[in-house]
Amino acid sequence: MTTTIIWTIAIISGLGLLLALTLYLVAQRFKVVEDPRIELVEKAMPGANCGGCGFAGCHAFADSAVKAPNLDNHYCPVGGNETMKKVAEILGYEIKEKAPMVAVVRCNGTCSVRPRTSEYDGTLSCKVKASLYAGDTGCSYGCLGCGDCVAACKFGAISMDPETGLPVVDEEKCTACGACAKACPKAIIELRKKGPRGMREYVSCVNKDKGPGVKKACANACIGCGICAKTCTHDAIVLENNVAYIDFEKCKLCRECEAMCPTGAIHGVNFPKPIDKDAIKARVKERQKKAREAAAAAAEAAKPVGEPVEPPVLRQAQEPEQFKKEESNG
């Protein structure tokens, strides 16, 4: 009896030791050596695995960042500059700081200004709706309102406003990962520079149709009149395919375009003071009048001599007053 117990224990223990040894040897033989920095970098990441950086997740980002010669092609939009500084410290690289971005919904066709022309009773998905037809309003470029962007956001930063029927971005929660911009079949959502203290100017419309048709479809649309582009003294606005676009790298937030826009398609957000459209309009008109007069005078002066003259300078280099004030505040 005792012998049996002893034998059993001995065999089981022996077997255990043997297997442990095998496992140890196999583990040694097939050991995967991973750069310890990958784990460090991954720990410094936000861990959202959102894919906003272009990699499959935070681990893939860390893996690639460690192997890369520099960090030029690596940027975590969620963690922003803070995270990137930590990553750079671990890896001993230098980083170029990037301006924080935010998702901007470029459609202002609320239910009240964009009349419904048909009723959609299909699947509640923008992707499906866009594959079926141009949408249930006269605007074939605008927001379809089924909320694909809301579903795509992993940070709960977008919600549909039931009153306007348009998505609203919560700036605090938005990490600029770009998932919503990819999900939008109409390419309405754009990642734009957050701007100083969140102040930014943008054209809230992407309608490429010509003026009269656009106006009929949506009262808030950009009709491509080009007034904003003519007003802008910073060369920040381009008019292409009947729609204006503000280059956020060049925009100096003077708000002149916003004041001059006849349809209210240009939006300025997070400005400390409400816009005084009349004052800006008067100022712009005065400036344009002076420019015209100067041009006429130059032409007059050039006439008798008959020599070629430089074309009149319409844009003034002078900065508008309001902007100066804001700049000094900041």
Partner 1 sequence: MAKRTFSIGGVHPADSKISRGCKLEYLPIPPTVYIALSQHIGAPAKPVVTVGDKVKVGQVLAEPGGFMSAYIHSSVSGTVKSIGPRKDLSGNNQMVVEIAVEGDEWMENIDRGDTLVTDIPDDPKAIIEKIKLGGVVGLGGATFPTHVKLSPPPGKVCEMLIINGCECEPYLTSDFRTLLEKGEQVVIGTAIIKKALGVAKATIAIEDNKLEAIEHIQKVVNEFKSKGPEYSGIEVLSLMKKYPEGGEKQLIDAVMHRQVKSGGLPIDVGAVVDNVCTALAVYEAVQKNKPLIDNSVTVTGECFPKQANLIVRVGTPLNYVIDYLGGVPEAAAKVISGGPMMGKSIANLEAATMKGTGGLLFLTREQTKRMPESNCIRCGKCAEACPMGLEPFLLNRLAKAGDTDALEANAVQDCIMCGCCLYSCPAGIPLLDIISQARGQVMGIMRARTAAAKAAAEAAKAAAEAAKPKSE
Please report, as ranges, the residues that interact with partner 1 according to CB under 8 A: 117-119, 121-123, 125, 127-128, 131-136, 138, 140, 209
Q: Does residue 145 contact residue 158 with C-beta atoms inside 8 Å?
A: no
Q: Which is nearer to partner 1, 130 or 302 (CB)?
A: 130
Burial class (CB in 10 A: 0-12, 13-18, 19+), 298: middle
Give the residue with the Cβ less far from partner 1, 134 or 294.
Answer: 134
Nearer to partner 1, 44 or 126 (CB): 126
Of 74 and 186, the one with the shorter C-beta distance to partner 1 is 186
Minimum Å distance from CB 165 to partner 1?
A: 17
CB of 277 to partner 1, least distance (A): 33
Least Å distance, CB 212 to partner 1, is 13
Continuous H helices in the chain: 2-29, 36-44, 58-67, 80-91, 126-132, 148-152, 179-183, 211-217, 227-231, 256-260, 277-305, 321-329
Provide the minimum distance between the beta carbon of 190 and partner 1 in the complex, in angstroms, as a whole number.
Answer: 22
Shortest Å distance, C-beta 143 to partner 1: 15
Report the C-alpha gap between 245 and 250 in whole angstroms.
11
**Spatial distance between the Cα atoms of 186 and 106, rounded to a whole number of angstroms:** 10
Per DSSP, the three-state class of 189 is: strand
Nearer to partner 1, 134 or 199 (CB): 134
If one counts every other C-beta atom within 10 angstroms of the C-beta of residue 282, the result is 12
State how far the alpha carbon of 213 is from the alpha carbons of 128, 139, 219, 225, in Å: 25, 9, 11, 13
Q: CB of residue 163 vs partner 1: minimum separation in angstroms? A: 24
Amino acid occupying residue 17: L
Q: Which is nearer to partner 1, 132 or 309 (CB)?
A: 132
Residue 54 CA to residue 258 CA, distance in Å, equals 34
